Chain A
């Protein structure tokens, strides 16, 4: 089983739609969680950290469910510019490194 698993998509949604991605992780000792955004052939960039209480940044909301070991990202009012691959990232407590999911691709169409 992979340490971090994501649905690769693609998720094709119209502008203005709400879309949600989930990610599951296998290591219950993980303490740090993130969503990264990666545009085609560009570097991954930190979108937001995910806190236990959940957090929101504009149109983006991240949630953590420790009991079920999953993380979610909700995007409201999707824009064309949101089209990208979203990487779920979790720390590996024993190796002290981040583990990156393979990403979920989002395509927003007009």
Chain B
């Protein structure tokens, strides 16, 4: 099994719908992150959590919310999906020491029509 698992892998949804992307990890890391990636723009941080009781906005949090249900689980919700939220979404985890880098999930490809 993958260290960081994202579900679903692909999703097509309609404008205005609420959708949740889920991430779970078996690495025992305290820190978890949600990114979106658009062609030519690189990875942009949406939200991050340094522990279960800590939630922080990233650079593009508008239109998104998160829930850290447990150390191993971090969910991203789109409250009312819009077409410009069509992107590739990645969850990542890290130890509290960033010397070891981040481990990414395999991504969720979201299309909003």
Contacts and interface: CB of A to CB of B under 8 A. Distances in A.
A49 B99 contact: yes
A43 B90 contact: yes
Given A41-B107, A44-B104, A46-B101, A102 B48 contact: no
B45 A97 contact: yes
A31 B33 CA distance: 20
A98 B101 contact: yes
Q: Which 10 A-B pairs have the closest CB atoms?
A: A102-B42, A43-B104, A100-B43, A91-B98, A46-B101, A32-B99, A43-B106, A34-B101, A43-B107, A44-B104
Interface in B48-105: 48, 88, 90, 94, 98-99, 101-105
Interface residues of A, number: 22
A69 B41 CA distance: 22
Interface of A: 8, 31-32, 34, 36, 41-46, 49, 87, 89, 91, 96-98, 100-103
Given A41-B88, A43-B90, A97-B48, A102 B101 contact: no
Interface of B: 33, 40-43, 45, 48, 88, 90, 94, 98-99, 101-107, 109
**What secondary structure prevails in chain B residues at the interface with A?**
strand
A102 B99 contact: no
Nearest to B33: A97
B110 to A, nearest CB: 13
B106 A42 contact: yes
B41 A102 contact: yes
A97 B57 CA distance: 13
Nearest to B96: A96
Contacts of B99: 31-32, 49, 91
